[in-house]
C-alpha cells in the first residue's frame, strides 16, 4: 500500500515539477523560439537550445527532489496525522539545503562553459529562481496534505457512521434479546402482581429507553439532559434486577445540561461497568457521574472483576474515542487504578446550529 502511494505521489509531483519549471523559464523558452532572435554570441540574453533545456530540466529536478524530501518529512498522503513544529522546521531547512546543493552542482558544471566574470551573476540569479520554486513546492506539499486530510476525514466519517450503526444495532439487539426480554417480562410479571403502579412505570421506562435508542441514531450529538433522562430509564430497569446492589450517584452541574455529547455514551459506560464487575450484596457496584470545571463528564465505577468474564464486542470505548476525534479533535481519557475505573469524556459546547433545549 505504501509503495502504491509513493508511486502515485511520484507521478503527480513529476508533472507539477516540469510544469513549474516551464513557467519559471517561460520567457527564455519564448526567446529561444522567437523568429526575431539575435544569435550574436556577445549578447548575454542569447541562449542555445541545449542551454535552455538544461535549465528547465535542472529546475524541474530541484523541484522534484524537494517534493520527495518533503514526502518523507511531512508525509502529505497520511491523512489525519498532525504536522509538528519540528517537522515544519526540518522541512524548510532540508528544502533550502537541497536547493543550495543542486544549484551549486548545476552552476559548477555550467562554469566549464561560461565566462568566469559572469558566473556570480548567473549563480545569484538562478539560485533565487530555485529558492522561489522551493517555496512554491512547499506550498504545494501542504496543499496536498490538506486535501488528503480532508479526504481522510470524509472516509473516517463514513466508516464511523457504519461503526456507529453497528454499535447502535448491537446495543438495541442486546436490549431486545430473548435474555433481556425474559428478565424484563419476568420482573414485569412480578410487579403486576405485587406493585401495579411500579409495573406501569416499568413499561413506561422501557418504552422511553427503546425509543431514545432508535431516535438517537439520527443525530451525531445529543444534549446531556436528554442523555441523562434516557439513562434514568435504563437504570430503573436494571435496578429491578440488582436493587440496592447497584448505586449510581449523579453530580451534574446544571450549567452543563445543554452541552453536547455523542448519543448512548453514558449508557455504554454503565453497561461496561455492570458487564465486567460483580454486582452483589457483598460487592456493591458504585457508579459516579460528575461534571468538571474543564467541560467534561467523568464516569467512575468501583472495580471488582467477575470470576467469569463476559465476552465483549470491543467496539464500545474505541468507537466512542473515534467519534470524539472527528467531532472535536478531543480525546477521551481512560484510567484504571487498583479499585477504581474512570473514563472522562469531553462535553461539547452547544452552537447556533443545534437545539439547546433540554
Which tens digit of pLDDT belongs to each residue from 65-123?
888 888 888 888 776 677 888 888 888 888 777 777 766 666 566 556 544 444 444 55
Q: What is the pLDDT of residues 19-45, one digit of tens each?
A: 888 888 787 777 776 644 444 443 444
Could you give phi then psi for residue 255, rounded to 5 degrees? -70, -15
Q: CATH 3.30.565.10 region(s) of the chain?
A: 212-346
Q: What is the pLDDT of residues 174-216, one digit of tens each?
A: 555 555 667 677 778 878 878 788 888 888 888 887 788 777 7
Instruction: Pick the closest to residue 232 from 262, 201, 209, 211 (CA basis).
Output: 209
Q: pTM of the entire structure? A: 0.52
End-to-end CA distance of the chain: 47
Which residue has cell 410479571?
Answer: 189
Domain 212-346 has CATH 3.30.565.10: yes
Contact 276, 306 (CB under 8 A): yes
Is residue 144 packed enough to be buried (19+ CB in 10 Å), middle (13-18) or exposed (0-12)?
Answer: buried
Strands 222-223 and 285-292: unpaired
Residue 117 has a pLDDT of 45
Q: What is the pLDDT of residues 4-22, one digit of tens each?
A: 777 878 888 888 888 888 8
Alpha-carbon distance of 235 to 199, in angstroms, equals 15
Q: What is the pLDDT of residues 245-291, one digit of tens each?
A: 999 999 999 999 999 998 888 988 998 888 888 898 888 999 999 99
Contact 218, 254 (CB under 8 A): no
Q: What is the pLDDT of residues 300-333, one digit of tens each?
A: 999 988 776 555 544 567 777 877 776 777 888 9
Residue 179 has a pLDDT of 59
Under the banding of pLDDT at 50, 70 and 90, the label for residue 355 is very low
Amino acid at each position: 500500500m505504501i509503495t502504491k502511494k509513493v508511486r502515485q505521489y511520484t507521478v503527480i509531483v513529476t508533472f507539477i515539477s516540469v510544469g513549474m519549471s516551464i513557467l519559471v523559464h517561460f520567457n527564455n523558452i519564448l526567446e529561444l523560439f522567437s523568429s526575431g532572435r539575435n544569435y550574436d554570441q556577445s549578447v548575454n540574453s542569447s541562449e542555445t537550445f541545449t542551454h535552455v533545456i538544461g535549465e528547465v530540466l535542472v529546475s524541474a529536478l530541484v523541484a522534484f527532489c524537494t517534493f520527495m524530501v518533503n514526502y518523507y518529512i511531512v508525509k502529505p498522503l497520511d491523512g489525519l496525522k498532525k504536522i509538528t513544529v519540528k517537522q515544519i522546521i526540518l522541512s524548510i531547512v532540508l528544502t533550502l539545503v537541497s536547493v543550495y546543493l543542486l544549484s551549486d552542482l548545476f552552476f559548477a558544471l555550467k562554469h566549464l562553459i561560461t565566462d568566469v566574470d559572469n558566473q556570480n551573476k548567473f549563480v545569484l540569479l538562478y539560485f533565487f529562481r530555485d529558492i522561489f520554486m522551493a517555496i512554491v513546492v512547499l506550498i504545494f506539499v501542504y496543499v496536498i496534505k490538506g486535501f488528503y486530510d480532508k479526504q481522510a476525514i470524509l472516509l473516517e466519517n463514513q466508516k464511523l457512521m457504519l461503526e456507529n450503526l453497528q454499535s447502535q444495532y448491537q446495543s438495541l439487539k442486546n436490549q431486545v434479546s430473548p435474555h433481556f426480554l425474559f428478565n424484563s417480562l419476568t420482573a414485569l410479571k412480578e410487579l403486576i402482581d405485587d406493585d401495579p403502579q411500579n409495573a406501569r412505570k416499568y413499561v413506561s421506562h422501557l418504552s422511553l429507553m427503546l425509543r431514545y435508542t432508535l431516535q438517537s441514531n439520527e443525530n451525531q450529538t445529543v444534549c446531556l439532559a436528554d442523555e441523562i433522562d434516557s439513562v434514568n430509564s435504563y437504570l430503573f430497569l436494571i435496578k429491578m434486577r440488582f436493587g440496592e446492589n447497584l448505586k449510581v450517584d449523579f453530580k451534574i452541574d446544571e450549567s452543563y445540561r445543554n452541552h453536547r455529547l455523542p448519543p448512548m455514551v453514558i449508557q455504554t459506560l454503565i453497561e461496561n461497568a455492570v458487564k465486567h464487575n460483580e454486582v452483589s450484596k457483598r460487592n456493591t457496584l458504585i457508579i459516579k457521574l460528575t461534571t468538571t470545571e474543564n467541560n467534561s463528564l467523568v464516569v467512575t465505577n468501583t472495580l471488582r472483576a467477575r470470576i467469569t468474564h463476559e465476552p465483549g464486542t470491543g467496539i464500545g470505548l474505541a468507537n466512542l474515542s473515534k467519534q470524539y476525534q472527528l467531532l472535536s479533535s478531543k480525546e477521551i481519557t481512560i484510567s484504571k487504578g487498583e479499585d477504581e475505573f474512570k473514563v472522562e469524556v469531553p462535553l461539547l459546547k452547544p452552537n447556533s446550529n443545534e437545539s439547546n433545549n433540554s
